[in-house]
Amino acid sequence: MGAVCPLFLLPMIDKIKTIIEPVIQEEKAELVEIIFRKEGGRQVLKLLVDKDKGIQMADCVRLNEKIGQALDLADIIQESYVIEVDSPGIDRLFKTTRDYERALGRLVRVTLTERILDKKEYIARLEEVSDAGVKIAVKKRGIIDIPFEKIARVREEVEF
């Protein structure tokens, strides 16, 4: 889970996370990222959340309400702010082992830091994830082992 905010706000983010994670888990969702910054003259607390089968608008609305109540009760944010609960979107980059595990068997786009078998990018089916890296199934090439240190970024690819 990442946090995007000025460094001086990191202790505040930790407090917010402690308060909201139980609420998010209660809804069988996962906190992906916290963004707390000034946008258009107002403080915005943006929470990116996801579920195994994807998050729906109704989930975001329900979470927004419950998180707002929990934060109001805790009264740790002294200034006026707006909460936005949103999906990380289809272009979500994988950041954790859980991201990879969730995508097992699905099509992913893997961008590499250096060439493997003459290519720096593959669109392939994610077959396996381990502590060392991933295995992807590439058409006409078979299974390719890719160590994590050679991965620049991975995201799920839309299948048509």
Percent of the chain with pLDDT over 70: 92
On average, the pLDDT of the chain sits at: 88
- Catalogue all structural domains in the chain, each as residue range(s) with its CATH number: 2-86 (3.30.300.70), 97-156 (2.30.30.100)
17 pLDDT exceeds 90?
Answer: yes
Angle, CA of 52, 146 and 55, to the nearest 5°: 15
* The predicted structure's pLDDT at residue 120: 96
pLDDT digits (tens, 9 = 90+) for 123-147: 999 999 999 999 999 998 899 999 9
Residue 77 burial (CB count, 10 A): 16
Q: pTM of the predicted model, to two decimals?
A: 0.66
The answer to whether the CB of 15 falls within 8 A of the CB of 46 is no
pLDDT digits (tens, 9 = 90+) for 23-66: 999 999 989 888 888 888 888 999 989 887 778 899 999 999 99
Residues in the chain: 160
